[in-house]
Amino acid sequence: MDKVFISQLHVDTIIGVYDFEKESKQSLYFDIEMLSDIKPAAANDDINLALDYSKVSERVIEHCTAKPVELLETLVEQLAQIILTEFNTPQVTIKVSKPAAVAQAQTVGVEITRAKVSN
C-alpha cells in the first residue's frame, strides 16, 4: 500500500477542558497518513480515482470547527472514523499537536492509528 499524507494542517478551534480554553480559539496542527493504492489514479491521471488530500483537509477543518470538544483524544477518534468512513482508505494515522497547551513544551498532542474493521 502507498501512503497519502497531509502535514501540519493548521486549524484554529475551541478545544480544552479548562474555562480559559473555551474562551478563545487555539491552534491545532494535524499530520495525517492514509493508506491508498495510488496506481489506478496514476495510470489514468484521474483525481476521481485518487484519495484527495484536499477534500480530506477540508473535511477535517469543517469537523474541527463545527462543534467543540474538550479532549484531543475525542477529536482524533472522531476524525479517524470520518476519514475511514468517507474516504477510500483502509487505515489512517492522525497526529494532532497543540502548541499552546504546556508553556514549557514546544508542543503536546496525541497520535492514533485506526483501521477499517473487516467483516
Domain boundaries, the chain: 3-115
Residues in the chain with pLDDT values less than 70: 119
Which DSSP string corresponds to 18-87? SGGGGSS-EEEEEEEEEEE--HHHHHHT-GGGS--HHHHHHHHHHHHHHS-BS-HHHHHHHHHHHHHHHS
- Give, in order, the Cα–Cα distances in Å from 54 to each of 25, 48, 60, 102: 23, 12, 10, 30
Q: Grid coordinates representing 2?
A: 502507498
pLDDT value, residue 100: 84
pLDDT value, residue 119: 63
Residue 30 near residue 9, CB atoms below 8 Å: yes
Residues carrying an active site annotation: 98
pTM of the model: 0.93
pLDDT value, residue 16: 87
Say which CATH topology domain 3-115 has: GTP Cyclohydrolase I, domain 2 (3.30.1130)
